Chain A
Amino acid sequence: MSRGEADDLDVADVQRVLQGSTAAFAGIVTRWQGRLLSLAWRYCHDRTIAEDMAQEAFLKAFRSLHTFRGDSAFSTWLTAVAINCYRSWMRDHEPAGVSLDDVLIDVRVAYATETLDARRREEIVRRMVATLPPRYRDPTVLYYLNEMDLAETARTLGLPTGTVKARLHRARELLKRRLASVLPDAGRDML
């Protein structure tokens, strides 16, 4: 399904929901559950928590559907709602998120018990993104979910493209510095 076709379906479903057909929201859920769930996963790296977060995001979207004006694509609006929801979720459920200490413990355990293979290293890199401060974490998570589309990331976050670019640059610096300290051998040449 092309993006334009998805947009048309979304707009039609939004109108039906606003006219009172709650069941029409199922179409929106079916089309976007993968995206919202993957986005939630990148914040918490736990399937059960990610599903709870995504469910809450859909509920929030349903409740605020009347605020969708159609100025941007529905997917952009929905992702913005989800990002706000996940940000609050992470703030309210702090121990449930990925902490830098958790990642460091994982790395030490992995080094003590086995040679860190490529797959494990990649997993650590991805979890490390979730430990970044929110102002760097959000653009990074979204940028890679959006297949490195800077303009779309900026639109979703409601920030100028230059600001997003600067934050991404800073995020990469932070990531590289942290990874270099926890992955002393294999990590350095990987980055």
Chain B
Amino acid sequence: MDELDRILSAEPRLEPSAGFTAEVMRSVTLASTATPPPPFPWIQVLLGSAASGALALTGVLLSVDVDSGVWLQLAKELEPVLPYLGYTALTLTIVLGALRLQRELAIAD
């Protein structure tokens, strides 16, 4: 054993201060009773990604075919039924809104 070994081996051990164990146990108890963090919302992320992808794809398709006249022709063909489509959409919205309201009220009860 040389001088360097002797010096480094002889480094005195540090004794913990009086409240050290109690402090550690306090943090350990706190950690054991803490609520685990909420799980990552994978389902919402996947649904959101799928919806975003579908929207982006629709946008691309629309922008590609906008000059071909296909969409214009389709709009002309749908012109007579457009008001009815509007009514249908309005009715669907009201029905869905009512269903949602009913569910919210049921949860509140």
Q: Which residues of A contact B (CB under 8 A)?
A: 22-23, 25-26, 29-30, 33-35, 37-38, 41-42, 47, 50-51, 54-55, 58-59, 62-63, 122, 125-126, 129, 140, 144, 147-148, 172, 175-176, 190-191
Q: How far is the CA of A172 from the CA of B23 in the complex (A)?
A: 37
Task: Select B11's contact among A50, A54, A144, A190, beta carbons within 8 Å.
Answer: A144
Task: Select A176's contact among B4, B8, B29, B32, beta carbons within 8 Å.
Answer: B4
Q: How far is the CA of A26 from the CA of B24 in the complex (A)?
A: 8
CB pairs A–B below 8 angstroms (5 shown): A33-B21, A55-B24, A129-B8, A148-B9, A190-B3
Task: Select A55's contact among B7, B9, B14, B23, beta carbons within 8 Å.
Answer: B23
Q: Which residues of A contact B8 (CB under 8 A)?
A: 125-126, 129, 140, 144
Is B21 touching A26 in the complex (CB atoms < 8 A)? Answer: yes
Per-position 1/0 for B1-31, Cβ under 8 A of A: 0111101111101111100110111011101
Q: Which residues of B contact A175 (CB under 8 A)?
A: 4
Is A37 touching B29 in the complex (CB atoms < 8 A)? Answer: no
Chain B residues with a Cβ closer than 8 Å to the other chain, count? 24
Q: How far is the CA of A14 from the CA of B14 in the complex (A)?
A: 25
Determine how close the nearest CB of chain B comes to the CB of A15; give it in whole angstroms.
16
Determine how close the nearest CB of chain A comes to the CB of B66; give it in whole angstroms.
54
B6's nearest neighbour on chain A, judged by CB, is: A122
Determine how close the nearest CB of chain A comes to the CB of B62; give it in whole angstroms.
50
Q: How far is the CA of A58 from the CA of B14 in the complex (A)?
A: 16
Q: How far is the CA of A22 from the CA of B33 in the complex (A)?
A: 10
